[in-house]
Structure formats: C-alpha cells, structure tokens
Amino acid sequence: MAVFTRTTKKLIVRIDEFFDDIDLGLLVFREAWKAYLEKDLTAFERHLIKVDELENKADRLQREIGNDMITHSIMPQHREDVVRLIDMIDEIIDAAKSNITELDIERPEIPPALADSFLGLAGTSANAGEELVPAARAYFRDPYIVREKLLKVYYYETEADKTAIELKKRIFREIPELDLSGKNQLRYMVNNIENISDLAQTAADMLSGMAIKMMI
C-alpha cells in the first residue's frame, strides 16, 4: 500500500511541476519576444536558455509521468487520455522553444510599425496556452469546472487567429520597404507564433472530451 501512496504522491508532484514548467515557459516565451523587439539581445539569449531548460525538463517529466502511469497501472481507464494530454501540452512548450530558437537563428528584421502587433500576437498566443494549464489542473481535482475554464483558451485562440491575419495583411500590404523574402520570413514567424494557440486549442478539445468522460 505504501508503494501506491508513494507513487501517487510522486506522480502528483511531477504533474504539478510539469504544468508549472509549461506556465513558466510561456511566460518566458512572451518575455523573449519582448526583449527581441526591444533589441535587448542579452535578455533575449537569457530567455532562450531558460525556455530550452524548461522544455528539456518538461520532456523529462512527460516521460516519467507516462512511465509511472504504465508501470504502476495508474488510472488504467483514463491513462491513455492523460498521457496523450500531457504529450499535447508538451508540444506547446516545444513549439514555443522552436519559435524562439528560430528567431535566434534567423534574427529577422521586424519593422518598428509591426513590433506592437508581433508582441500582441505572441502575448495572445501564449495566453491561450497559459489558460489551458489551469483547466488541465482542474481535470485532476474538479472535472466539472474544466469546460468553463476552457472558454478562455478558445477566446484567445480566436483572437490570435484574427491578430495573425491582420498582421499578415499589414506585412504584405503596408510595408513596402520589405522585399518579398523578408515578407515571407515574417509570415513564417507569424505562423509559428500562431501555432502555439492552435496547439492549445487542440489540447483543449481533447481535455473537454476527457472531462465529459469523467462526469458521466
């Protein structure tokens, strides 16, 4: 019996740590974009290292959670769902890290007129991911409130979509000093940022289904 209790405690701590990392990773992602747009490359690189560390830790935790759930046969009926959800949430921080890494590699020239819009898009997209975390935490304690918590994820995802379309329009229509390759590069960046909210929405859809399963 002690084995069960110890494993359960460890698992609860690991899941909480995992969500903390995702939360923190998205916060650092937003800060990294802010530092880049303000041309504070020292801060940007610091944030890049932090996101990398958090992503690695999240990967490790994800694997440990999956292993523990399988080896100790925890929640056998919902295990696949939980492991899949953790995997989907991990993809969010993977996308954030990949976006910041590409930003570091490519260092695109972002016209000052678009800086606020880029920051806004990064913020909204990160918000969608951040709002997913409390909903996912709620799944483990109070599945009845998961769906109402997910409303914010859907809201931010829609906002991120709108901002991304608006931003792409401005890139191609309002910035004549950028050549086509520069515009393409920025569009690619926009798509990558927007991808975070899309991943959050996909995970939210799954979480919503999982919550319903727990309620019936």
Q: Which of 57, 60, 84, 147 binds another protein (CB under 8 A)?
A: 60
Nearer to another protein, 60 or 168 (CB): 60
d(CA 205, CA 35): 32
Ordered alpha helix ranges (H), the chain: 2-37, 41-71, 79-106, 112-141, 146-173, 180-215
Tell me the closest approach of the beta carbon of residue 175 to another protein, in angstroms. 43
CB distance 127 to 156 below 8 Å = yes
Binding segment (CB under 8 A) for another protein, from list 9-17, 22-30, 124-132, 185-193: 9-17
Using CB under 8 A as the binding rule, whether residue 184 contacts another protein is answered as no
- Number of residues engaging another protein in binding (CB under 8 A): 25
Tell me the closest approach of the beta carbon of residue 141 to another protein, in angstroms. 5
Site for another protein in 124-183 (CB under 8 A): 139-144
Burial 140-171 (b: 16+ CB within 10 A, else e): eeebeebbebbebbbebbebbbebbeebbeeb
d(CA 188, CA 206): 27
Tell me the closest approach of the beta carbon of residue 8 to another protein, in angstroms. 4
- For another protein, the binding residues (CB under 8 A) are 1, 4-5, 7-8, 11-12, 15, 60, 67, 71, 73-78, 139-144, 214, 216
